Structure 1
Amino acid sequence: MLETLAGRFERASKDYALNFGIERDPDWYLLKLQEELGELTQVWNRYSDRGRRGDLSNEELHLALENEAADVLGHILLFANRFGLDLPAAIERKWRFRPDGSSKL
């Protein structure tokens, strides 16, 4: 499941990088993840009245939270894929369940 999702993010990210001339060197993966986490934090601050909301409604800010959370998820998967991290195994070790929904440990 995670591998399939990671593959989809990889294809989309690779296409984006090619279209805009971005080099995805090893540092890019972590730096981009940090950037996206910062954007999620910025939206959270606005959503939780710790930052300027502007003219955005709660619904618009909630949608922005969803979008930024999706970016963070995508970049976590890109990072793990790039560096050969076995996230399903790590989830089993750390969270004590199998992400594919199979029987308990």
Structure 2
Amino acid sequence: MKENRWDVTQEQKDKFIPMIKDFMEKAKKNPDTKECINFSDRGISPSQLKDILENDLGFEEVDFDTNGWQWDFWITMRKDGVDYMIAGTGMSFEIVFRLA
């Protein structure tokens, strides 16, 4: 069976939403944190992560940038006046969620 990389599943929501909420709480306590959640090779695509942030957690996309040939991307997401970022690279399929 082909792995779903487009639609968010309930299993993904159950797994990743608590992680995201926990990170947000830690970031509120320490807004200068350099920590992040590393989602690389954990069963979620950048699109699925963005969907969870927007549709389940009330985030708004405020910026999207890429550098083209290196396949790097940065998606700035905002919630309650705080900017977070989905950042990654297609070259090695790395994806993280951090404060912007």
Shorter-normalised TM range: under 0.3
Q: Indicate the structure with greater strand content.
A: 2
Q: Indicate the structure with greater helix content.
A: 1
Q: Which has the higher contact order (CA 8 A, sep 6+)?
A: 1
TM-score scaled by length of structure 1: 0.26
